[in-house]
Amino acid sequence: MAHWFHRNPLKATVPVTFDLGQQAASPLARHICRDIRQARAQLLDLLPNPNQNVAAVKEAMEKYIGLLEGFITASEDPKAAPVTPQQQTGDSMDGMLQETSVPSGESKLRNSVKVTWSNSLGGKNIFQNDFVFEEINMLFNIALWYTKHAAKLAAGSAEISEEDAKEVHRSVRQAAGIFKFIQSNMLSKLYEVPGDGSDLDSRVLSCYELQCTAEAQEVTLARAIELKHSNSLISALASETSKLFAKADESLKSLEEKLVVKWRKYLQFKCMFYMSYAHCYNGNYLLTKDKGGDAVRSLKESFSLFQKSELLAKEYAKAKGPGTVAKPEQHPFFLRLGPIVHRILEKTERENSMIYHEKVPEELPEINSKETFGLASPLDFELPAKSTEWTAAVYNGFTVASTKKSPDDKEDSVKPVKEVPIESDKHPSNSTGCSIS
């Protein structure tokens, strides 16, 4: 499975200091600002390395998002009396900012800092004065990390252990769940509509979710082939996997071509490749049912699709754009299919001419789609709970003059994330010729 997956670069971001100046008017307020600054930096330090343990990344994510939630939702105690300026401990109140009202349940701090992120597809950076925007982009980056962690586990060998295969499967489903959660539960909370082609464009999010789900099914399919499950089940799984890649490609169709041309070539290649697999195993299934003519027709279709997928793989390798630099047509999993299709086609034609004497139909036999055992789905994702550090006393230690700020139009520069290469420790030569750009 080495480097079988296309991966776009991690998102880069401008450091956020959480230095709110006079707005952090109490020692408690300044303390939580320090904690969240450190938590953000620690999480960002982990993400460039796909070798990191999932538990470590999850712990860092929960800590940061838990603290960040206090900058998004209010932490007032409805049963407590309002905290007066005189109750702020240990500080002079000279120059205290006058607070303004905010929507019910929303933190007065939500719009207090400008946040800037790059896009995984390149193009202009995106920025807003909104900690919901920060939360969405950080979760997006964590989902990308899960995809890269899965690719790392699958790297460098044609075969991986059952334990690693399970973690690959779980990781891409976890990523799909995060992308789905962002689109379904978070985009609507933003004050500003994300621009076309940005990572927060619903078409981009849909593609990531569909791709991750399809990759989970790839793992299931590889396992089904390894365990020699029925031809009809393998055919159905391959067909459904192909359809997911096709849907992912369709979601990018209306975006600016230069942003997605490389990514789309990968999705089209995968779609074609797995449909070739589907017709190959369907032909084998039809042959066991003594349908020689239909079996030959399916195998011929499989061989034609395999040739088309090889051309798409070469086009992908030459395409310009962000993401993995690879030659999928040299991948062991790809190379394995060609001889299988050729061998079964020859066998089927021979048996049809000697035994069945059936005419090969022009119409392509249908693939049995009723066998849905093993289809993957995104894992449900829930936001971590707000950190227990957020109390009414901490929250009331902040005084904010305005609740909705328009960000500075000036685009901040961000440095690309220097990622640890996705390659096998056991196979550093990287025979598949893949790297991350």
Q: Are residues 396 and 358 in the same domain?
A: no
Domain closes at, from 317, 352, 368: 368
Helix (H) or strand (E) holding 223: helix 202-226
> pLDDT, tens digit, for every residue of 233-252?
999 999 999 999 999 999 99
Q: Are residues 167 and 101 in the same domain?
A: yes
Residue 284 within any structural domain of the chain:
yes
Residue 381 within any structural domain of the chain:
no
Residue 24 within any structural domain of the chain:
yes
Helix (H) or strand (E) holding 270: helix 257-288
Q: Are residues 264 and 337 in the same domain?
A: yes
Q: Are residues 18 and 90 in the same domain?
A: yes
Residues in contact with 413: Cβ distance below 8 Å, sequence separation at least 6, in sequence order: 14, 125
Q: Are residues 1 and 124 in the same domain?
A: yes
Residues in contact with 12: Cβ distance below 8 Å, sequence separation at least 6, in sequence order: 117, 118, 414, 415, 416, 417
Q: Are residues 6 and 135 in the same domain?
A: yes
Q: Are residues 170 and 277 in the same domain?
A: no
Yes or no: say if 96 and 85 are a contact pair by the CB < 8 Å rule: yes
The low-confidence residues of the chain, meaning pLDDT below 50, are 1-2, 79-98, 425-437
User: What is the distance between the alpha carbons of residues 129 and 116, in angstroms, rounded to a whole number?
Assistant: 9
pLDDT of residue 437: 27
Answer positive or negative: Cα dihedral of 83, 89, 94, 97. Answer: negative
Q: Select from 98, 17, 44 the least CA-distant residue to 415.
A: 44
Tokens standing for residue 216 = 């989970």
357: left (phi over 0), alpha (psi -120 to 50) or beta: left
User: What is the distance between the alpha carbons of residues 221 and 168, in angstroms, rounded to a whole number?
Assistant: 13
The three-class DSSP label of residue 398 is: strand
Q: Select from 145, 124, 148, 142 the least CA-distant residue to 68.
A: 142
Q: Are residues 177 and 236 in the same domain?
A: no
pLDDT of residue 101: 57
Q: Are residues 158 and 240 in the same domain?
A: no
Residue 218 within any structural domain of the chain:
no
Q: Select from 149, 178, 164, 155 the least CA-distant residue to 65.
A: 178
Beta-bridge partner residues of 324? 436
Q: Are residues 83 and 128 in the same domain?
A: yes
Give the rounded distance of the alpha carbon of 28 from its chain centre. 37
User: What is the distance between the alpha carbons of residues 278 and 177, in angstroms, rounded to a whole number?
Assistant: 26
Yes or no: say if 198 and 173 are a contact pair by the CB < 8 Å rule: no
Residues in contact with 72: Cβ distance below 8 Å, sequence separation at least 6, in sequence order: 106, 107, 110, 131, 132, 135
Yes or no: say if 338 and 306 are a contact pair by the CB < 8 Å rule: yes
The three-class DSSP label of residue 421 is: coil
Q: Select from 217, 315, 297 the least CA-distant residue to 261.
A: 315
Residue 203 within any structural domain of the chain:
no
**294-299, long-range: CB < 8 A, 24+ apart:** 294/358, 294/361, 294/365, 295/348, 295/352, 296/345, 296/348, 296/349, 296/352, 296/360, 297/360, 297/361, 297/362, 297/363, 297/364, 297/365, 298/364, 298/365, 299/341, 299/344, 299/345, 299/348, 299/349
Answer positive or negative: Cα dihedral of 240, 241, 246, 252. Answer: positive
* CATH code of residue 52: 1.25.40.280
CB 180: neighbour CB atoms within 10 A? 23
Query: Exposure of 192 by Cβ count < 10 A (0-12 exposed, 13-18 middle, 19+ buried)?
Result: middle
- Residue 250: which domain range? 229-368
Radius of gyration of the chain (CA): 26
* Structural domain total, the chain: 2
User: What is the distance between the alpha carbons of residues 204 and 224, in angstroms, rounded to a whole number?
Assistant: 30
Q: Are residues 179 and 317 in the same domain?
A: no
User: What is the distance between the alpha carbons of residues 83 and 397, in angstroms, rounded to a whole number?
Assistant: 9
pLDDT of residue 409: 64
Q: How far is the CA of 400 from the CAs of 16, 100, 393, 415, in angstroms? A: 18, 7, 15, 31
Residue 214 within any structural domain of the chain:
no
Residue 412 within any structural domain of the chain:
no
pLDDT of residue 56: 98
Residue 437 within any structural domain of the chain:
no
User: What is the distance between the alpha carbons of residues 29 and 23, in angstroms, rounded to a whole number?
Assistant: 9
Phi, psi of 316 (to 5 degrees): -60, -45
- pTM attached to this predicted model: 0.89
Q: Are residues 402 and 350 in the same domain?
A: no
Q: How far is the CA of 91 from the CAs of 82, 87, 94, 193, 245, in angstroms? A: 18, 10, 9, 40, 59
